[in-house]
Amino acid sequence: MAQKPSIPKGTRDFSPEQVFKRNYIFNIIKDSFERFGFQPIETPSFEKSETLMGKYGEEGDRLIFKILNSGDYFKDVRADIVDATIIHIAFIDLFETLIDKCNNNLKDYEGILDVKLNFFHLGEISEIESELLQDFFLGIKNDFITLFEENKDLSEEESKENIIKLRDNKFVSFFGIYMNEFDTLNSSKAIKKISEKALRYDLTVPFARYVVQHQNEIEFPFKRYQIQPVWRADRPQKGRFREFFQCDADVVGSKSLWQEVEFVQLYDTVFSNLGLNGVTIKINNRKILSGIAEVIGAKDKLIDFTVALDKLDKIGEEKVKEEMLGKGIPQEGINKLQPLFNLKGSFEEQIEELKSILSTSEEGVKGIEELEFIDKAINSLELKSAKLQLDVTLARGLNYYTGAIFEVSAPEGVSMGSIGGGGRYDDLTGIFGMKDVSGVGISFGLDRIYLVLEELGLFPKAAMKNTKVLFINFGDKEALFCLKAIKQLRESGIKAELYPDNAKMKKQMNYANKRKIPFVVLVGEEELNNDEFTLKNMATGEQEKLTLNSLISTVKK
Amino acid sequence: MAQKPSIPKGTRDFSPEQVFKRNYIFNIIKDSFERFGFQPIETPSFEKSETLMGKYGEEGDRLIFKILNSGDYFKDVRADIVDATIIHIAFIDLFETLIDKCNNNLKDYEGILDVKLNFFHLGEISEIESELLQDFFLGIKNDFITLFEENKDLSEEESKENIIKLRDNKFVSFFGIYMNEFDTLNSSKAIKKISEKALRYDLTVPFARYVVQHQNEIEFPFKRYQIQPVWRADRPQKGRFREFFQCDADVVGSKSLWQEVEFVQLYDTVFSNLGLNGVTIKINNRKILSGIAEVIGAKDKLIDFTVALDKLDKIGEEKVKEEMLGKGIPQEGINKLQPLFNLKGSFEEQIEELKSILSTSEEGVKGIEELEFIDKAINSLELKSAKLQLDVTLARGLNYYTGAIFEVSAPEGVSMGSIGGGGRYDDLTGIFGMKDVSGVGISFGLDRIYLVLEELGLFPKAAMKNTKVLFINFGDKEALFCLKAIKQLRESGIKAELYPDNAKMKKQMNYANKRKIPFVVLVGEEELNNDEFTLKNMATGEQEKLTLNSLISTVKK
């Protein structure tokens, strides 16, 4: 292999430094999850296709990575392909013969057509419903007879051209049938026959599957967290990957609003513990959005309405109004939205404003009550460093959420999309036949949090669990002496290593430098005889001779 | 969906208890790896197929999970399939016509054959090398002429039967060509066109790829560890899974034997820290095996020899000898093996015995020196709880290893295969074009270690990071009061949760019981007014009234 090997588009290798930093984030998230009473589960990387397919919409289905069946995966497709191609060939053959035998004699043509049509009675395509095909070929026969009669007076050459035109014409509709009806060379239809497993696309659907499958072993309400990779065949682009970790915490089996309260606290706890102060936890409620749509007479256009409203930050008030108008929301309704565009002030002030806007919508009023409950509880419990903010334009994953909607944005001044999000979904497990199980959950965007911590310099040095002491290797006798000491250091919890080869001093020191190992120990003949160690501080260059005990206590500091 | 959902064969869901226990093992392994100076890397779950294929032998290639290309993955295959099936149909059509027109007139037959053979000059199968096919059809023509001449005097009916026989006969060889030469419906040939990525099969090949790809960023010797899942399409059976974690530590870029010494120490450290005392670390050296093969005159039969020797434990001395004889190892050579079968005693005693057996083999002597170096160092450094044992029958992965070979077996009395293994391989990165980089490494068998710890009851209670205190929910006022206390508990590092609903007391207590939560806190009107908490110990049933501070200190104990 002449070329350097590489990895697939959209995937990443993680260097030791990156792994340490990622684990630093994971550990803080896990620790907080556990303090809040969430328990970890893990599910397989691939699920049965039927578990995943159809759960994420058409676009989602397309982005799911499918795994090829093992062994002779083509077995089932092969028979179908042969069948369908027999028909394909029959079609080509029919026109070949017609063109070939073109002597402007209708009787000849009819004879050929009848023989060819008979082909489909021979039982050779027994596995396919041939009715459709019979109709199609009979249609060709009729078209051909018409064509022939219309062109009676043409030369043989012209007649041939007409037949070719008819063929090319028919070929398009033939392929229409061929591709759609015969389940063969069509990628999306053949898939079921050559693949029955797929890599998970998110952690929510596998979680729902887990809950339904293990419902008899689970105590509800079930508070679970899950930190595992997911895979999406997205077009790779900056900051978007085909393999990435999701960190989810969800509760299923309770509709209590105290859970929403706790999730706000959980966000606050994790980001405070990461040293990322000043994040904004935006909250909204699906019922508020429904209520507004109801009030402005666009109840049936809830999706269009919220998709437009969601863009307020990006495109501004006027464009949002234009889009709504374009989607058929009446001007009169849009006028009623005006107070919404002017919504300002504290959580409580916005709530008061919403009360007057939504007074006529039962659902809207319910949404306001829920938001108020959460806000009051949080005010009383107090957040450490995050800010809770009402944002009525927040709509993410609307098809999905039925109550609270959360989204977290990085502290002001850091330009980054949302670093977390979540909400309540009233029928999580319904897709697997277990009805009326309400769920609510949040997730953390690891890759973006990593970038934010990096940008703000918030990774503590201690996150790098690098080797602390390198013992220089001056030969086997010294190396054995060093390994005895190293054993003691390691038992004291100090990360220590011996340079394995008796290489040039410079090379060994270079290794320590490049690896950013802060201490180096030198043991030559003198140290060996005196049972002592020369410790060099790589930052200051200072050296001192120490006993093993003082070496351990010095380095441990 | 009427049926309960399920997961693919050979995969597993992990419950909270299982995740906690697995993480307990992972954390001890990681911690030890890091104390020994190993640094973590992570590689993508899927690699380019070219990176993985051909690295694990034919059987391995078959067991690699392939990922289907996204989008119209069938595109490239489709054209080929159509081509190949044209030929298929041509074949069927040829015989159809021959049978149909069977009037015992050779001229007719020859005419038909010529017309049909012409078909392959029409450029319709331009994409395929048609030479092979031309030969094949010409062969049919000749066979047919012979057949016809031999059967001149037969009836038309009998002649037809003969043609059918010829067809069926030819069909078999036709399919031979068709399947092997035309790269189409053959699963293993089409694969390159519909899949270019595959799930990793182990961590060693991705590590080699990583080292070559990032060679300019890496300081050598490079001590890396990697703990990630791998996937194999093995037939699922008890204790064998299609997704499982590997835990590997390797060093590349140094031939120093001190690394072998450290790996013995590392095994000892991990198993001691897991409380799994008394494991046996078996060690051998490829050079010893080569030396023995040389001495008994079976140098060219090294694999056969070691495969047989490896079975000594299972099938006994006599059968091993029989197998060797069967593989063509001379009786005289096998006689020379006798001292090997009688090898007993300490590491040192076995070494002395080997010295006399292998004195004439340069390579064997080198192997003995290496083993002796490691043994002496380990004796001087002392192991905590493991035992280092020489085992000249140990051969695992012989094709792969070039020096030391390791295998760890569970303590006596526990019936379980090896729980770890490894060795030195002198050309790890050669497969990716980077020559002369020696590697040595070991791995830990997570699933088996789990089973052993479970069997011996060695998982400590503290590994279960379960919720410690459940606050019973008596209503919103009480719940808010409780959440204020819970916030303090969590900040003190105590895992605490509030039952989210104001459900019946019995239901809430039941939840605590089933979740094995050791403490329950009850806050009713009285406690609320007195700013105190009733703590119930679920094991003893004892209750006491406490202030928040004493609650925290009591529960934290």
Would you call A41 an interface residue with chain B, using a CB distance cutoff of 8 Å? yes
Would you call B47 an interface residue with chain A, using a CB distance cutoff of 8 Å? yes
B288 to chain A, closest Cα gap in Å: 23
* CA nearest to B74 within chain A: A187
Among A81, A267, A499, A509, most B C-beta atoms within 10 A, so best to mutate, is A81
Instruction: Indicate the pLDDT class of residue B96, thresholds 50, 70 and 90.
Output: low
Among B40, B78, B501, beta carbon nearest to A256: B501
Q: How far apart are the first and last CA of chain A?
A: 48
Could you tell me which of A287, A221, A288 has the C-alpha nearest to residue A249? Answer: A221
* CA nearest to B220 within chain A: A511
Would you call B432 an interface residue with chain A, using a CB distance cutoff of 8 Å? yes
**Segment A167-194 mean pLDDT:** 62
Q: What's the pLDDT tens digit per position in B326-348?
A: 988 889 888 888 888 888 889 99
**Segment A229-244 mean pLDDT:** 90
**How much is the pLDDT for B50?**
95
**How much is the pLDDT for A123?**
43
**How much is the pLDDT for B441?**
96
B360 to chain A, closest Cα gap in Å: 27
What is d(CA A200, CA A66) in angstroms, rounded to the nearest whole number?
9
Q: What are residue B513's DSSP bridge partners? A: none
| Residue B209 in this model has a pLDDT that exceeds 50 | yes
What is d(CA B374, CA A378) in angstroms, rounded to the nearest whole number?
63
Strand order across the B496-498 sheet: B496-498, B469-471, B519-522, B533-537, B543-546
Would you call B115 an interface residue with chain A, using a CB distance cutoff of 8 Å? no
The tokens for B311 are 């079975």
Are B37 and A254 an interchain contact pair (Cβ–Cβ within 8 Å)? no
Would you call A70 an interface residue with chain B, using a CB distance cutoff of 8 Å? yes
Could you tell me which of A303, A238, A255, A260 has the C-alpha nearest to residue A447? Answer: A238
**Segment B156-173 mean pLDDT:** 71
**Segment B504-518 mean pLDDT:** 96
Q: What's the pLDDT tens digit per position in A124-156?
A: 444 444 565 666 667 777 777 787 777 677 777
Angstrom CA distances, A109 to A34, A140, A499, B121, stand at 80, 12, 88, 25
Among A258, A375, A514, A528, most B C-beta atoms within 10 A, so best to mutate, is A258
* In contact, A8 and B48? CB cutoff 8 Å: yes
Are B258 and A498 an interchain contact pair (Cβ–Cβ within 8 Å)? yes
* A467-471, B126-130, B311-315: least confident range: B126-130
DSSP letter at A101 equals: T
Question: In what helix (H) or strand (E) does residue B389 lie, and over which residues does it extend?
Answer: strand B387-390
Would you call A285 an interface residue with chain B, using a CB distance cutoff of 8 Å? no
Q: Which residues of chain A does B187 touch, with a Cβ-Cβ cutoff of 8 Å?
A: 71-75
| Residue B94 in this model has a pLDDT that exceeds 90 | no
How many other C-beta atoms can be found within 10 angstroms of the C-beta atom of residue B517?
A: 19
Among A68, A124, A433, beta carbon nearest to B68: A68
Q: Which residues of chain A does B483 touch, with a Cβ-Cβ cutoff of 8 Å?
A: 258, 261-262, 265, 377, 381
* In contact, A253 and A437? CB cutoff 8 Å: yes
What is d(CA B55, CA B358) in angstroms, rounded to the nearest whole number?
33
Q: What is the ipTM of this complex?
A: 0.86
Instruction: Indicate the pLDDT class of residue A183, thresholds 50, 70 and 90.
Output: very low
Is A42 in a helix, a strand, or coil? strand
Q: Which residues of chain A does B43 touch, with a Cβ-Cβ cutoff of 8 Å?
A: 7, 13-14
Would you call B541 an interface residue with chain A, using a CB distance cutoff of 8 Å? no
Among A213, A484, A511, beta carbon nearest to B219: A511
Q: What residues contact B58, with CB distance under 8 A and at least 6 apart?
A: none
**Segment A59-84 mean pLDDT:** 79
Among B12, B14, B15, B424, most A C-beta atoms within 10 A, so best to mutate, is B15
Q: Which residues of chain B does A24 touch, with a Cβ-Cβ cutoff of 8 Å?
A: none
| Entry pTM | 0.86
Beta-carbon contacts below 8 Å between A and B: 307
Q: Which residues of chain A does B48 touch, with a Cβ-Cβ cutoff of 8 Å?
A: 5-8
Could you tell me which of B230, B66, B78 has the C-alpha nearest to residue A195? Answer: B66
| Residue A554 in this model has a pLDDT that exceeds 90 | yes
How many other C-beta atoms can be found within 10 angstroms of the C-beta atom of residue B16?
A: 21
Q: What's the pLDDT tens digit per position in A52-64?
A: 999 888 889 999 9
Mean pLDDT (chain A) is 87
Would you call B51 an interface residue with chain A, using a CB distance cutoff of 8 Å? yes
B5 to chain A, closest Cα gap in Å: 6
**Segment B7-35 mean pLDDT:** 97
The pLDDT > 70 percentage for chain B reads 83
Q: What's the pLDDT tens digit per position in B437-447?
A: 999 999 999 99
A322 to chain B, closest Cα gap in Å: 35
Q: What's the pLDDT tens digit per position in B355-412?
A: 999 999 999 999 999 999 999 999 999 999 999 999 998 987 666 789 999 999 999 9
Q: Which residues of chain A does B473 touch, with a Cβ-Cβ cutoff of 8 Å?
A: 256, 258
**How much is the pLDDT for A124?**
47
* In contact, B264 and B283? CB cutoff 8 Å: yes
Would you call A68 an interface residue with chain B, using a CB distance cutoff of 8 Å? yes
Q: Which residues of chain A does B490 touch, with a Cβ-Cβ cutoff of 8 Å?
A: 35-36, 269
> Which A residues in the span 363-392 are in contact with B, Cβ-Cβ below 8 Å?
377, 380-381
Q: Which residues of chain B does A89 touch, with a Cβ-Cβ cutoff of 8 Å?
A: 85-86, 89
Question: Would you call the peptide bond into B221 cis, given omega within 30 degrees of 0 as the criterion?
Answer: yes
